[in-house]
Amino acid sequence: MSDKIKVLVVDDQYVARSFFEFHVELTKRYELAAALPNAEQAVAWCMDHPVDLVIMDVVMKYGLDGLTCARTIKQDHPGIRIILTTSMAEARWIEKAKRAKIDSFWFKEYSSIPLTEVMDRTMSGESVYPSSLPNPAFGGITKHDLSKRELEVLREVTHSLTNEEIAEVLHISPHTVKRHIENMLAKTGFKNRVDLAVNAKAIGLVVPEDSQTENDDRRPSSAGKEGKI
């Protein structure tokens, strides 16, 4: 019987899933338990199979997101270590993951720490989180050149809301919303709010609330268990 650490990989993107599989299979310490395209399937898999470490993407195209399902796995199987990952620059997931007691968090595109190091440190009992937040280029500036309020407005712009709707969500005036959008256009050099939204979405600078985990009471139901075994 193998004494290697059993790793469950969960990512809805084939290329990313293959990347994780490759890194696991390169090592002598770990072995691939399964590779699944759906976070809810991961919850079901952990119920019926031995798993030591889960590497799971936050955003899923279908079903519940990775953070919600990781929270459920942690509640039901506290001994399983979990590394959440994302290729997006959205930083709000960091605090959500910490509150859910997720062991580690790794930015695919922005981390300076190799994945295998994060895996080793996580399995050694360390909680590995980014020491700094992603700062991707956004037009003529970087993310850090935008204020917290501008990022909040931009998040709603990517959700195709009007100034009035954004004002209602953020409890500010439509005039203030308009001013923030004008300031972001001046800073970035983009021509209009559509350009702002398209470019923000392209790099995952901000993600609309309905793509994030806001309801801590959601739990995944049983799902299929297809995947690479």
List the domains of the chain with CATH numbers. Answer: 5-123 (3.40.50.2300), 137-202 (1.10.10.10)
Adjacent-strand bridge partners of 84: 56, 105
Q: Can you tell me which residue has the tokens 């702002």?
A: 196
- Looking at residue 111, what is its pLDDT? 76
End-to-end Cα distance, the chain: 16
Cα 52 from Cα 197, distance rounded (Å): 39
- In which residue ranges of the chain is pLDDT below 70? 1-2, 208-229
Which tens digits make up the pLDDT trace of 196-214?
999 998 888 887 655 544 4
Q: Enumerate residues 6+ apart whose C-beta is below 8 A from 141.
A: 187, 188
What DSSP assignment string belongs to 117-186? HHHHHHHTT-----SS----EETTEEGGGS-HHHHHHHHHHTTT--HHHHHHHHTS-HHHHHHHHHHHHH
- Looking at residue 220, what is its pLDDT? 54
- Looking at residue 176, what is its pLDDT? 97
Which tens digits make up the pLDDT trace of 85-109?
998 887 888 989 999 999 999 998 7
Whether residue 44 contacts residue 192, with contact meaning beta carbons closer than 8 Å, is answered with: no
Among residues 98, 47, 105, 38, which one has the least CA distance to residue 76? 47
In Å, how far are 28, 77, 83, 119, 210 from 213, measured between CA atoms? 35, 20, 17, 24, 7
Adjacent-strand bridge partners of 134: none
